[in-house]
Amino acid sequence: MNIHATILFGHGSRDPVWRKPIDSIAESMRQLSPESCVRCAFLELTLPDLASVTDELVNMDVTHITIVPMFLGVGRHAREDLPLLVNHLQQTYPAVTFVLRPSVGEDPRVIEMLAKLSLSEL
């Protein structure tokens, strides 16, 4: 039986309010698809981290994890650090399928939506 989960992955910040948009996206996902298993994880300065969330999901018998980097820019963290973390997770949990999606800032739909928002007058 395949049990799927999505992890929204962000950088993290010392400011606890920083994570609110990512938490809001996770909540919207749950409202759109109540059966979805969605978690947030962060690289640094904010908990939980990717390893902790993955461990929680594996203990819930999740067998397929999609990781969505919530980065607009595609810097070193998205290009180098995150793939290394996912590779380590794959080695730690060989029975789990991990899919690392491109950063949201690379999606033409996100770019178009941000352009439209930037052009609109409130």
- Indicate the number of domains in the chain: 1
How much helix, strand and coil, in percent to the nearest 5, is found in the chain?
Answer: 50, 20, 35
Q: What is the CATH number of the domain that holds 39?
A: 3.40.50.1400
Name the band, by pLDDT with cuts 50, 70 and 90, for residue 56.
Answer: very high
- What is the distance between the alpha carbons of residues 12 and 48, in angstroms, rounded to a whole number? 10
Name the band, by pLDDT with cuts 50, 70 and 90, for residue 117.
Answer: very high
- What is the distance between the alpha carbons of residues 56 and 65, in angstroms, rounded to a whole number? 12
Domain that holds residue 75: 4-119
pLDDT higher than threshold 80 for residue 85: yes
Model pLDDT, residue 61: 97
pTM: 0.94
